[in-house]
């Protein structure tokens, strides 16, 4: 798990958070404080404090007299989260058109070139990296501090769904095509069109994931393993 720094709570928080976000610890898993402390070679206190911070992030849930669990993810979670993304990112993209420089747009084009190569090679990790950067540059390009702050809060909750979405090659391929359409609208400095395309893209990803993974309102994507 890496070299322990002086701030053990911060280190425990980042370590456990990475395990959750990358699905190495599955949604719904009960987290055993003693086991985690032993694995990380620390006392229970920094682990307990880390789990409380993760609860504030929405990534863990404390069930009284039962224990601490990784937050489950269901179709309802997907729909609510992606509805927020659709509203916020479409608006951010529309506003970003007026703020992004030619250099920023060159960066967008470069990201899409790297993304296309990643798709051709089946390199899903590289695609994920470029996909996140693509969305971030447009959100931050809106120059709206409150919107950026809200999107930052949603980023970790979105990350697990992004990992899941990589299991569908069709979703990855179509997402790239949709990104390219958004980039074309950006180059044309057509804010309303870019915003509409971003909203369509996020809505389409949500619908593809529901279809591919056959989710319903009661389904949670979670094996029953413990950590």
Q: Where are the domains of the chain?
A: 8-70, 75-212
Which long-range CB contacts under 8 A does 3-6 form with residues at least 24 apart?
A: 4/40, 4/41, 4/42
Chain segment 23-71, per-residue pLDDT in tens: 999 999 999 999 999 999 999 999 999 999 999 999 999 999 899 999 9
Burial of 135 (0-12, 13-18, 19+ CB in 10 A): buried
221 pLDDT above the threshold of 50:
no
Q: What is the pLDDT of residue 212?
A: 77
216 pLDDT above the threshold of 80:
no
pTM of the model: 0.84
C-alpha span between 97 and 21 (Å, rounded): 31
Three-state secondary structure call for residue 215: coil
C-alpha span between 227 and 221 (Å, rounded): 16
pLDDT band at 117 (very low <50, low <70, confident <90, very high): very high
Positive or negative torsion for Cα 165, 170, 172, 177? negative
Q: What is the CATH number of domain 8-70?
A: 1.10.10.10
Three-state secondary structure call for residue 94: helix
Chain segment 149-158, per-residue pLDDT in tens: 999 889 988 9
- Domain 75-212 belongs to what topology? 1.20.120
Q: What is the DSSP letter of 219?
A: -
Q: What is the pLDDT of residue 103?
A: 96
Three-state secondary structure call for residue 95: helix
220 pLDDT above the threshold of 90:
no
- Can you name the residues that pair with 88 across neighbouring β-strands? none
pLDDT band at 1 (very low <50, low <70, confident <90, very high): low
Q: Tell me the mean pLDDT in the region 100-117.
A: 97
């Amino acid at each position: 798990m890496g070299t322990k720094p002086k701030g053990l709570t911060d280190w425990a928080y980042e370590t456990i958070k990475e395990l959750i976000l990358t699905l190495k610890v599955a949604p719904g898993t009960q987290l055993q404080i003693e086991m985690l402390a032993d694995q990380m070679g620390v006392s229970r206190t920094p682990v307990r404090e880390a789990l409380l911070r993760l609860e504030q992030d929405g990534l863990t849930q404390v069930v009284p007299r039962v224990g601490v669990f990784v937050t489950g993810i269901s179709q309802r979670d997907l729909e609510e989260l992606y509805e927020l993304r659709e509203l916020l990112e479409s608006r951010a993209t529309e506003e970003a058109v007026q703020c992004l420089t030619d250099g920023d747009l060159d960066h967008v084009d470069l990201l899409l070139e790297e993304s296309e190569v990643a798709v051709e090679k089946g390199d899903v990790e590289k695609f994920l990296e470029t996909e996140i950067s693509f969305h971030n540059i447009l959100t931050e390009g809106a120059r709206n501090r409150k919107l950026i702050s809200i999107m930052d809060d949603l980023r970790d909750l979105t990350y697990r769904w992004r990992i899941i979405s990589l299991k569908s090659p069709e979703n990855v391929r179509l997402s790239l095509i949709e990104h390219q359409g958004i980039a074309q609208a950006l180059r044309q400095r057509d804010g309303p069109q870019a915003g509409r395309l971003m909203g369509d893209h996020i809505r389409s990803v949500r619908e593809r994931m529901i279809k591919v993974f056959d989710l319903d309102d009661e389904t949670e994507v979670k094996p029953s393993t413990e950590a």
